[in-house]
Amino acid sequence: MKISAYLTLVLLLVGCGRHDPIIHRLLESGDLSPCTRMQSLDSVYDISRLAPECYHNYFYLRAKACYDRGHVSPIDTLLEGDIAYFTRTGELDKAVYLNLCVGRAFRELGKHDRAFACFKEAENMAGSLPDPLPLFCVYYEWGSLAVAEGDNDEAAEQFEKMLSLARENEPLRGNLATGRYALQAAKALLCLGDYDRALYWYGKLTAYTMQIRDSLRASAIYYEMAYSFHKAGQEEKALVYADSARVYAASPAGFLHSALLKASVYYSLGQADSLEGQLEQAAGLLPRGGIHDREKYYYLLSQFYRLRGDYRNAYDNFVRYDAITDTTYVRPGARWGKQMHERYARKKAELQAERLRNRNHFYLAMGIVALLVAAAIICSLRRYLREKEAKRIAAEDLASRLNQLLLRSGERLQYSVSRNLESVRHIVRLRNLAQEKGLSLKDLQLVGNGEGQLSWEDLYTTLNMLHDGFKDKLVAAYPGLTDKEVRLCCLFRVGFNTIDVANIFGQSTHTIHKDRGRLRKQLDIPDNEDLALFLEKHIG
């Protein structure tokens, strides 16, 4: 067991240092491309087995490769611990690049204060290094941060420091021949307004632009080259590079920037038709752009209308442009703006008066329409109320007649039943008397079939009228009932008790109780439910 533990410990020690030679080899090979370095770093699948020194160097190499490729992500803000490590060990060149990477990550997150602190610390460290390249990168990142904040004076100062450093150091000027640093120099000169020198550096980027695989960066480079040519007055070349920027653009925002740049070039050339075509393309993409894109669009649109001589639309779009820029002045160098103000100073009152007249006419027309609509609504409402009152009176009259009819039917039923009940009781008494006297029932036949006999058809008709077809519903629901059972149900539904029913049928109450029990079983009535309530609830 001890031997197995020793073997495991040896294997762990061997595995821990298995990737360390990769890190050392990458540190010694400074001429590798960022992509090659990233591929080598990706082969280190378990960084927890690295030694502490190689562990921090791993993150330094990855951060520097990402910075050289321009692919810094917000997660790189977690490298602050590695900065502290290299600061303690005195490896300031590595700490500088990590500060640049972390600062750019904070800038992309919008945390400019944190980014400024990182660049300031990187400047202090880079000032003591013999290699001027880290300080060159610090000035560039600092200037880019100032551009993002809109501080053009600070940006110009930092970019001027960067270019002065390049002029003073011969080795640094050699490094500028490479694509990435030439791009930094060109952007700096572009921000400083030195377009001729910016074009010189952009000329060095032609081969570099063809080699990179990032279409977004290629589109941005071509756009900046086109902008530099446009500012330098070389409009034909500006159009060529603007088309290239549009080809490499992979987003609506890129298409919008190219369209606005070409529109600006066509305005400089005085080609109103071409300017109109570019503005139509930009109008469809304008919702995808930012506030600066809308500012450029309305400025160029006002220029287009000015070229066409439509000063009214030119003035309206210039007002939109001025509102977007949130300023209260007209640019002093824009002579056409002053001319438009002079021309429309008098017309403004006329337009306002015309607008007021049109508005008054509109309000008057709307008032007349509102009165007509109100009158129509009132007439319709009065007609509706009259019809509703007539319907209510007719319904009340019909209900009154129905109530009278039902009342008469009920009285007739009660009279018929009570009269027949007395007759039946008389017949029963006669039958009992006949039995006592020994008379035969046929002697009483005329009495039984006379006027006093109960008319079941009249009872059925009255029940159907009073209780919504009770007898018909009962027969339809229970077709197996006999005539006697149907008559029993009708009498119990009317409200007769067992004694009255026995008198009507001329039978004893005991017999009626038995018939009632059989009827409850046939109708499947629960024991705790009354027969009359069941008939009222389930039949009607």
The CATH number of the domain holding residue 235 is 1.25.40.10
Instruction: Count the domains in the chain.
Output: 2
Assess contact for 462 and 406: CB atoms under 8 A.
Answer: no
Residues 65-89 have a mean pLDDT of 77
Q: What is the pLDDT of residues 385-441, one digit of tens each?
A: 888 888 888 888 888 887 787 777 667 666 666 656 565 555 555 455 445 545 443
Residue 450 has pLDDT above 60, yes or no: no
How many whole angstroms separate alpha carbon 295 and alpha carbon 77?
34
Q: In this structure, is the dihedral angle defined by the CA atoms of residues 382, 387, 388 and 394, taken in order, positive or negative?
A: positive
Q: Is residue 472 a part of any domain in this protein? A: yes
Whether the predicted pLDDT of 185 surpasses 70: no
Task: Return the amino acid letter for 200.
Answer: Y
Domain stop point among 312, 329, 346: 329
pLDDT for residue 2 is more than 50: no
Residue 301 belongs to what domain range? 214-329
Asked whether residue 104 is domain-assigned, the answer is: no
pLDDT at 445: 37
CATH of the domain at 530: 1.10.10
pTM (global) more than 0.85:
no
Between the ranges 31-40, 73-82, 85-94, 143-152, where is the mean pLDDT highest? 85-94
pLDDT the model gives residue 4: 40
CA distance 254 to 225: 14
Give the pLDDT band of residue 153 (cuts 50, 70, 90).
confident
Range with the poorest average pLDDT among 75-89, 134-148, 358-372, 451-465? 451-465
Stronger pLDDT, 201 or 411, i.e. the higher one? 411
Domain boundary among 329, 360, 376: 329
Question: Which amino acid belongs to residue 275?
Answer: L
- Mean pLDDT within 8-29: 55
Q: Is residue 315 part of a domain?
A: yes
**CB 192 within 8 Å of CB 201:** no
- The three-point CA angle 523-524-529 to 5° equals 100
State the average pLDDT over residues 141-155: 76
The residue-averaged pLDDT of 345-371 equals 80
CA distances from 210 to 85, 133, 179, 214, 491 (A): 39, 25, 11, 10, 108
Q: What's the chain's average pLDDT?
A: 73
Q: With both helix axes pointing from N to C terminus, report the angle between 509-523 and 483-494 in degrees, rounded to the nearest 10.
A: 100
Report yes or no on 347 lying in a domain.
Answer: no
Q: Are 427 and 371 in contact (CB under 8 A)?
A: no
Assigned domain for 487 exists: yes
Six-digit token string for 111: 């945390």
Q: What percent of the chain has pLDDT over 90?
A: 1
**250 inside domain:** yes
Calpha distance 35→121 (Å, rounded): 28
Q: Other C-beta atoms within 10 Å of 391: how many? A: 10
pLDDT bucket at 378, cuts 50 / 70 / 90: very high
C-alpha distance from residue 18 to each of 41, 45, 51 (Å)? 13, 11, 10
Instruction: Give dist(CA 124, CA 499) in Å, integer.
Output: 120
pLDDT at 398: 80
- Is pLDDT larger for residue 194 or for residue 372? 372
Residue of higher predicted confidence among 446 and 325: 325
Secondary structure (DSSP) of 12-74: HHHHHTSSHHHHHHHHH-TTS-HHHHHHHHHT---GGGS-HHHHHHHHHHHHHHHHHHT---G
pLDDT higher than 70, residue 286: yes
Asked if pLDDT for residue 520 goes beyond 80, the answer is yes
The total of other beta-carbon atoms located within 10 Å of residue 249's CB is: 22
Residue 4 inside a domain? The answer is no
The mean pLDDT of 521-538, rounded to a whole number, is 84
Is residue 7 scored above 80 in pLDDT? Answer: no
User: Under a CB-based contact definition with an 8 Å cutoff, are residues 264 and 292 in contact?
Assistant: no
- Report yes or no: 199 and 232 within 8 Å, Cβ to Cβ: yes
Which segment, 6-15, 157-166, 220-229, 386-395, is predicted with the most confidence on average? 386-395
Could you say which of 314, 329, 344 is where a domain stops?
Answer: 329
Residues 21 and 56: beta-carbon distance below 8 Å: no
Say which residue the tokens 């307004």 belong to: 193
Q: Summarize the confidence of residues 71-81 as an average pLDDT.
A: 74
Considering the domain boundaries, does residue 283 fall inside one? yes
What average pLDDT does the segment 372-391 reach?
89
Q: Is the pLDDT of residue 47 over 80?
A: no
Helices (H), 495-527: 498-505, 509-523
Q: What is the DSSP letter of 416?
A: H
Distance CA 136, CA 133 (A): 5
CA–CA separation, 144 vs 156, rounded Å? Answer: 10
Q: Which of 453, 479, 470, 483 is nearest to 534 (CA)?
A: 470
pLDDT for res 442: 38
CA quadruple 503, 509, 512, 513: dihedral sign: positive
Angle value at C-alpha 252, between 251 and 253, nearest 5 degrees: 90
H helices, E strands: number in the chain: 27, 0
Q: How far apart are CA 516 and CA 241, in angstroms?
A: 107
Between 69 and 271, where is the model more confident? Answer: 271
d(CA 202, CA 206) in angstroms, rounded, equals 7
Q: Are 301 and 267 spatial neighbours (Cβ–Cβ below 8 Å)? A: no
